[in-house]
Amino acid sequence: MKKTLFIILCLSTVIAKAQIKGTLWDVKGIYDIPQYKTVSADSAIGIIYRGLTYKGKAQNVFAYYATPGTLSGDRSKDKNLPMVILVHGGGGTAFKEWAIMWAKKGYAALSMDLRGNGPGKKHIDGGFDEDNAQTPYFTITPGINEQWMFQAVADVILANNMVRSFPEVDVNRTAITGISWGGIITCIMTGVDERYKVAVPVYGCGYLLQGSSMRKGLLQLNEHDRKTWVKQYDPSNYIGKTKMPMLFLDGANDPHFYLDSYAKTYRLVKDKNLCIKIGLKHNHHYGWANDEIFAFINSYLNKTTPLAIIGEPELKGNTITAKVRSVIPVRNAFLNFTRDTTRVLMNRKWESVAATFDKDHINAPAPPPGSTIWYLSLTDDKGLQVSGPLQFIEPKL
């Protein structure tokens, strides 16, 4: 399909409640529906939309947009669709297959590239510049518009503005999910853009200077820039403001986001569920392939069966008990624990023992002596997993 001219969707301000006001991103243009052009069209539509000012001119952002109608070739059937914004992680791009995956589930889905690239990870005119294809996550420059994190978050806000303006989208049924660095941005977004109804950060969390692989990059900054970055961009400064339900999904041995910082982050959120998987690998495809993400989002946007929820466990003598709320029958339950004291949490070895489920409670033996961290988990008859809150026995955690 031939490139079209930029289409001005609307020159007026987006009329929507948002927490953006008063934040770092409360700047000119952030409330507007961005101009965009279509650059390709097949099962997913390739779009370039306008971002905020970058290096003296409007930045360009590439994205793939997919709906049931783009898949079938009949856009007339696209009506009243729930919407999801998909945010990639480090080394990622606008994943066409990710958008298509959600379109097959009946969603309008947009996956944008936050690195200045288009198809094939080739740089586009006016896109964010990376030196040697390395994303400058931690750069603090004199001009905030030159900072990658500022532009990345703004790109997601503007993507939300744009997709919400599409006539086939139901603006009352919107979600966001992100992988790794996209999970970090998702966590920030929950406290900056309240228009989403539900959010799922995968891997990503806050308190990055305290317990994550990002600590290394932050320590390479001088003290002033490090404090500035943490103040401006650590999700812990934003996520506590959210009112939307969130599912936190991570691996017990994730190599980038450690469980101590993960727990500190989710404790800031009132309405939450947890899914911590032993052995979960860290990459985009393993991240978005978790069925719990769709089940959680869909339960809020389409009123389908919700995930089970495990309450706060109680340890009485030699028995752990926790209340469970589950509509779907529970297949099995486990006590998961580590007796490892290795300093880096991602290197600790985990063990699991079977627990019992009786009506609406999990009952498990007390964690063995020497355990440093433990939590309960269950799997329902659909194979969906949820976890209870992490319990840290080790004093320093």
Which CATH fold topology does 36-306 show? Rossmann fold (3.40.50)
| Residues carrying CATH 3.40.50.1820, the chain | 36-306
CATH number of 310-392: 2.60.40
The amino acid that residue 324 corresponds to is V
Are 88 and 177 in contact, with CB atoms under 8 Å apart?
A: no
pLDDT of residue 7: 39
Give how far the C-alpha of residue 207 lies from the chain's centroid of Cα atoms, to the nearest Å: 15
Chain mean position to CA 101 = 16
pLDDT the model gives residue 359: 87
Where are the CATH 2.60.40 domain residues in the chain? 310-392
Predicted local distance difference test score (pLDDT) of residue 343? 85
Q: 182 vs 199, 244, 276, CA distance in Å?
A: 12, 18, 18
CA 99 to centroid of chain Cα atoms: 15
- In terms of residues, how long is the chain? 397
| pLDDT tens-place values along the chain, 397 residues long | 333 333 333 333 343 445 798 999 999 999 999 999 999 999 999 999 999 999 999 999 999 999 999 999 999 989 999 999 999 999 999 999 999 999 999 999 999 999 999 999 999 999 999 988 899 999 999 999 999 999 999 999 999 999 999 999 999 999 999 999 999 999 999 999 999 999 999 999 999 999 999 999 999 999 999 999 999 999 999 999 999 999 999 999 999 999 999 999 999 999 999 999 999 999 999 999 999 999 999 999 999 999 999 999 999 889 999 999 999 999 999 999 999 998 888 899 999 999 999 989 999 999 999 999 999 999 999 999 999 999 999 777 6
Kindly list the distances between the CA atom of residue 395 and the CA atoms of 80, 120, 205, 260, 335, in Å, as whole numbers in the listed order: 51, 48, 22, 12, 20
**Whole-number pLDDT of residue 394:** 79
Contact call for residues 99 and 66 (beta carbons, < 8 A)? yes
DSSP single-letter state for residue 237: G
Structure tokens belonging to residue 341: 């004291």
**Residue 344 pLDDT:** 85
